[in-house]
Amino acid sequence: MSENSGTKKIVLPGSERKPLGEPAGGLLPNETIDVSVILKPMKLPAISSAGAAHLSRESFAAQHGPDPAAIDKLKQFAASHNLRVIEVSPERRTVKLEGAISDLTKAFEVALDNYSYEGHEYRGRTGGIKIPADLAGSIEAVLGLDNRPQARPQFRIRDVASVTAAARGVSYSPVQVAKLYNFPQDADGTGETIGILELGGGYKPADLTNYFKSIGVKQPSVTAVLVDKAKNRPTNPNSADGEVLLDIEVAGGVAPGANVVVYFAPNTDQGFLDALSTAVHDATHKPSVISISWGQAESGWTAQAMTAFDAAARDAAALGVTICAASGDNGSSDGVNDGANHVDFPASSPHILACGGTRLNGANGNITSETVWNDGAQGGASGGGFSGQFPLPPWQSAAKIKPSAKGGRGVPDVSGDADPQTGYNVLVDGQSLIIGGTSAVAPLWSGLIALLNQKLGKPVGFLQPVLYELPTSTGAFNDITAGSNGAFPAGPGWDAATGLGSPSGQNLLTALSKQVGAPVARHAT
């Protein structure tokens, strides 16, 4: 397949993109970069709901990898454009191509330039990506040509200095939050692995040692996995280190017996997806639950990237891996200033457990009040609403959830304490901070799922269909009925501010034990 062979190219659906900011110039045509080409599976994996049999990582690629013929065609395409194949990962359906920017722009017929936006420079592109017509049915996404920052961490540090003593609220350790939510006290996550995705920042082992000693629990095993040349690079408490330490300390505080594996990747759509697919298919550490506290409004993603990300989340569901993601910290607008409602992605993926936020007050080990987290435009609020990318899934339709006009999948599914005014005591780069945000809820739920997996003796996996079927009489959730996230008020049952509610862990365990003791019906999605 030579460049002059007349091979027809077409635009990859959903790949169109507009640059943000102003051209900055200085693009070096001979600079070497790599791109991830995500291929479609030959056969979609069947998904079983909570506790049912699931595929093994070892058998996944053979059954649900890409067509080998498509890989061969892609290799020929690369050779004809002076590109090198540097990685072929059938289980992740990913082929990485490396080459000079000038060769990649010719291969995919894209216009690239450097841009400046909000104090950052990035390589951006205009328009769609063109691919060979004979590969159109095999390629899901091409990521990496554009390397703008893709996601933001969903955490909020309480500014203690800016409020009066009377308004400072309360704060909790993860252990105290777990007790308020009635998490199983006779489990610690032993035998489970919690994967955490991070797109920046880092942690210092000394912080972990000091923190877990301070809250009176054993220190979990914490391992860093570096994806796409990223680093575990701690700097200062005001950086993304706050996200990294919050995630590790909350998940580890709830499930100190679990192994915690932190997957560091660059903050690009390519890095984010590579981190997720690496964690999902990690046959060494084998996480049974993955926590994601980074995201952005659906309108900030390309459709091809969301499709590929959701496909990786579907793989996780087929493998029995639960993914928890923060629903966002900017209420029903998700920080988009266009007067419309938006939901955050990847939380809006139907194969991901979307985690919203509440304001939690407790005394003597009991919840005294719990409302929607909403501290106003500057203080943050629980993200939630209805997807513009994914249709209403059958398990939400069966629960009689009614999307707003032109809306689909409802977000969030569940919730938990997120208000910085009732936030979490954490240690970041030697500094004690109080942090909230839905970033705290994803690792909180991930820790709970590790406990549930340990108690049930099997992974709960794709949990959403079962959660929506649970009768209210099980008491599995604390129903949040007061407050709103802007456009969406809380009310009895599911709502687009706090989902089904916050967990009552022991009751949820009891309800799930009745489900996983017998075959669970499959739910097509």
**If you write DSSP's letter for every residue of 217-233 in order, what string do you get?**
SPPPEEEEEE-TT----
Q: Which residue in 46, 50, 54 sits closest to 462, CA to CA?
A: 50
Contact 398, 382 (CB under 8 A): no
User: Which residues of 4-90 form beta strands (DSSP E)?
Assistant: 9-11, 22-23, 32-39, 84-89
Choosing from 103, 198, 243, 334, which is the catalytic residue?
Answer: 243
For residue 243, indicate whether it is catalytic.
yes
Catalytic site residue 31?
A: no
User: Residues 146, 192, 247, 334: which is the catalytic one?
Assistant: 247
- Provide DSSP, 288-325: SEEEE-EEEEGGGS-HHHHHHHHHHHHHHHHTT-EEEE
Distances in Å between the Cα of 253 and the Cα atoms of 146, 209, 225, 440 are 37, 12, 21, 12
Catalytic residue among 439, 446, 484, 502: 439
CA distance 114 to 103: 17
Phi–psi pair at 285, nearest 5 degrees = -90, -25
Residue 247 known to be catalytic:
yes
Give strand pairing partners of 435.
157, 424
d(CA 356, CA 322): 16
Tell me whether the omega of the peptide bond preceding residue 412 falls within 30 degrees of 0, making it cis: yes
CB 504 within 8 A of CB 478: yes
- The H or E element containing residue 431 is strand 431-436
CA angle, corner 377, sides to 374 and 380, nearest 5?
A: 45
How many other C-beta atoms can be found within 10 angstroms of the C-beta atom of residue 27? Answer: 16
HSE value, Cβ hemisphere, 13 Å, CA-based, for 402: 1
Q: Which residues are catalytic?
A: 243, 247, 439
